């Protein structure tokens, strides 16, 4: 093992660095000034190191399910709670798309797009459910969704809101996750949710980046309050 590698492994990264950067404008500006001289590749490497993730995986579900022996009992409990929180949201999103597809309000390319999005949310459910079980937790029970499905325009607007909320929810928990593998997978799902939201933004003529250059996270209480009306 090289000395450089040993030095890198000895550095303890602050657990809340991601959350601090997205929440605190002062910290963010200081951070950007500090790394201003780095090239794109070096900047990406720095962020990955800050997040504590050095492993890659072929699929999101592989990355999550492989975390059963990571960290202490306390950190595992925290990660299980966050995974169950994410699973609850994915259950709702999956049911939302199922209801939208069953309504037959969308056909052609848009209908195929929404069907594809729904399939991806189903995959998120399977990955998160398996992750909780692998870590020794009990997957949360699936809530019964009651999304209003009235007309195409209303549903498209709701889909845009739901996907943006999902992306903000994942970002809001990034700084609380203890396992590097769980964090890496959460961010990979967050990326997909954000891409869903951006694509839907073009459909409903809304901003693809509603908060500008930096996404804004939502905490758990805010997200749960927002989805409460959609749980039967």
Per residue in 195-222, pLDDT (tens digit) is 999 999 999 999 999 999 999 999 999 9
- pLDDT tens digit sequence for 39-59: 333 333 233 333 333 333 333
How remote is the C-alpha of 77 from its chain's centroid?
19
Q: Which long-range contacts (CB under 8 A, 24 or more apart) does 42-49 make?
A: 49/8, 49/11, 49/13
- pLDDT of the residue at 185: 84
**Rounded distance between C-alpha atoms, residue 232 and residue 226, angstroms:** 14
Please state, as a whole number, how many other Cβ atoms lie within 10 Å of the Cβ of residue 9.
Answer: 10
pLDDT surpasses 80 at 169: yes
pLDDT band at 74 (very low <50, low <70, confident <90, very high): low
The two structure tokens encoding residue 106: 């969308």
Show the DSSP H helices in the chain as ranges. 3-10, 17-23, 25-34, 40-51, 60-65, 73-103, 108-134, 152-173, 180-203, 220-227
Average pLDDT over residues 84-100: 97
226 vs 3, residue with greater confidence: 226
pLDDT band at 118 (very low <50, low <70, confident <90, very high): very high
pTM, rounded to two decimals: 0.69
pLDDT band at 114 (very low <50, low <70, confident <90, very high): very high
Q: Positive or negative CA dihedral for 176, 180, 185, 187?
A: positive
**Rounded distance between C-alpha atoms, residue 218 and residue 220, angstroms:** 7
pLDDT band at 25 (very low <50, low <70, confident <90, very high): low
**Hey, where are the domains in the chain?**
3-51, 60-230
CATH 1.20.1260.10 holds for 60-230: yes
**Rounded distance between C-alpha atoms, residue 17 and residue 66, angstroms:** 24
Residue 121 CB-half CA count within 13 A: 28
């Amino acid at each position: 093992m090289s000395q450089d590698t040993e030095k890198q492994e000895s550095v303890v990264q602050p657990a809340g660095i991601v959350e601090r950067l997205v929440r605190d404008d002062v910290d963010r500006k200081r951070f950007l000034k500090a790394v201003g001289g780095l090239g794109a590749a070096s900047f990406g490497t720095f962020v990955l190191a800050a997040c504590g993730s050095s492993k890659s995986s072929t699929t999101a579900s592989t990355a999550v399910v492989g975390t059963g022996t990571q960290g202490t009992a306390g950190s595992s409990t925290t990660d299980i709670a966050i995974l169950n929180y994410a699973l609850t949201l994915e259950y709702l999103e999956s049911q939302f798309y199922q209801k939208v597809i069953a309504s037959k309000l969308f056909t052609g390319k848009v209908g195929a797009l929404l069907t594809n999005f729904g399939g991806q949310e189903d995959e998120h459910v399977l990955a998160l459910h398996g992750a909780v079980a692998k870590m020794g937790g009990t997957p949360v029970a699936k809530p019964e969704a009651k999304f209003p499905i009235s007309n195409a325009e209303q549903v498209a607007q709701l889909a845009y809101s739901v996907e943006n909320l999902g992306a903000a929810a994942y970002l809001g928990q990034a700084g609380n996750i203890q396992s590097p593998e769980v964090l890496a997978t959460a961010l990979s799902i967050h990326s997909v949710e954000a891409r869903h939201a951006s694509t839907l933004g073009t459909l409903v003529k809304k901003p693809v980046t509603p908060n500008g250059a930096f996404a804004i996270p939502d905490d758990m209480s805010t997200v749960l309050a927002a989805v409460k009306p959609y749980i039967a």
